[in-house]
Structure 1
Amino acid sequence: MKVLIRVAVAVIGLIFLTVMGLVAAVLVDVDAEADELTDGGGGLSGVPTEFRLWILKASQECAQPELSPALLAAQLYQESKFKTTREEATSGAGAQGPAQFMPGTWQTWGRDADGNGKASPWDIGDAVMAQGRMMCSLLKQAKSSSYGGDPRALALAGYNAGWGTVERYQGVPPVQFAHGETYHYVRIILATMPRFQGPGLLEVSGSGSGADALRKASARMGTPYAWGGGSPAGPTTGFCDGTNGYLGGKCSASSTVGFDCSSLVQYAYWDHVKLPRTASAQYGATSSRAVSRQNLKAGDLLFWSNGGSSGIYHVAMYAGDGNVLHAPRTGKTVSVAPLTSAMPGGDYYGATRP
């Protein structure tokens, strides 16, 4: 199993203009630079700083792992090139703001996400979170439909032209539809995604339940750690128990939407294996299939303990090349780390294969 760290690249330069559908989109020159670059953590790079946290949040709050930060960023770039002024982010059809919502569609998806007292398609937080909610819903529809192809492509087509159009064609509309606006909108966004994928996103090759679970978990990189948070459906707020979940003397978990170490593993494997909730219980459920450190494969579970099987306190997934993917602790996010330093080396207890 080879795990490759992706490098953001510009892949296409093409200009289109679309002014139709529920959400009107402006297709722009993808070789042009984004206004400000971020540090690329959490699998996201090349977006203006003021968009970064909202993109990550929108991705984290969707239970559909296909809604990656890079997908949202590429879509925003095609919609408005991250522009936010009324002069630059109003289409000829009347679409508004960085996510280019038509007024009627905004009434369905718009909320006051940034807490400033009003829901506005011109507010970055409101716009990006509405984009995420709509795309999340469309992805769910796409995956439950009988239409073939990439669910991301179907969702993007629905965002641009309306889900009714996707139903009409039972897939992405052909190039003959609306002079190719929706067809090219989908193709360009998917091709542009690598531009916005920062260090930290894993590209997992191979098949099987372990590779599939690792792939699913890697789509949640950048999600905050929340003690007691997370479920098979995705990240949730956690809780504090008197010892765990605190940051700076305050209960962080109760206001943080995220995973803890074992809920991330449970979420990743749920489609194939219904693992129990806690790290110690996960070890108990899989200990009959122990794996040596020399024979680890992608998705294998690694455990750390402060005293036997009853003292297991952490679980991670093997990510290949001597690395693990895990939710480390309060104040951190789901990330990749070397196996040798992910947790204290002397606490390493063993590995199993679900």
Structure 2
Amino acid sequence: MPKEDGIPVISSTPTGIARTFPITHKRTSPPPPPHPTMVRFFVGLAALASVAFADITFNCIGYPSKTGGAFGVSISGAITKLATNETTFPVWSGVVPGTTSAVQYSYVELDATGAAVKTEAFARKLNQTTDTSTDNEFFDRPITYHEIVRLPYTYLATYPSKSKAFKEDQIATIHLTAPAATIQAMNAAPETEADVKVTFRFINAKTIYTQNNITLKTSGKSSKEFAKQSYKFKFDTDYNQTFFSRPNLKLRSMSTEPTYLREKLYIDMLNSVGVPTQQVNMHEFAWALFCPVLSIFITDALHRCNVYNRDHMFVCSSTTSRTVCS
């Protein structure tokens, strides 16, 4: 086939004779490089697009050390006061508008005048850059989630079902509100097993769960001899009371087991060989004794200490409607 300029081109003529036509190429010089100012402009746009601006809600779990105190969130030294109410306490929340997804922040305890009392010594950041709300994060506790390596399952137990209350990678907070006199009387004479009606609030990283008029009493036998009592909650299913589909909940004081490992370990071992058991997890426990005269929440010595103090840490256990292990 004839070629012109090295490239064959075929065309049909009226007589059916094929002819070739050359293709010409226009030679052009390469374009000039972009101006440095334009390069910086586009790089800046790309960086801006990678950072999302949003109205982010911050959530801090905390107990002020003084009457009238509160909590806030500090971003680049600017403090925004957080708020709470009777339906969310001790969770303090607030929105900081125009915050970027790359924000670093710390929570601050405030006094009654709004002045800083204590600031966390570490910086926090959002779990995901797409988040518009933080988890419920305990004040001055740097770790909200910690993965615990589970024992391998030889046989899989199918009963009881898992509950939202037992997140093994976090320590939840249980907060009770009740008249001070009735709680003090119950703890002073635990052997009587007197019932007390309380407002029950369960808080973990994602959940604030409240139930009213829950029955509380001390639990155990020989453990009643210790200053730190164990407790049992009863949820009346006839009145739609429930703790994530469970009618009972126990807080075991573990007064004779300072490591807090025994209960969790033996339950995990039973589960690993297919034996159905109660569920257990570590929970933090606080009283909010309501004083009708002052109409304020008073947190007793149970929470006037470092959050890792064992005096208010409990192993929490529950079963479904059938008792499978006690």
Smaller-chain TM-score range?
A: under 0.3
TM-score computed with the length of structure 2 as normaliser: 0.26
Higher helix share: 1
Instruction: Say which structure, 1 or 2, has more relative contact order (CA 8 Å, 6+ apart).
Output: 1
Higher strand share: 2
User: Which of these two proteins has the greater Rg computed from alpha carbons?
Assistant: 2
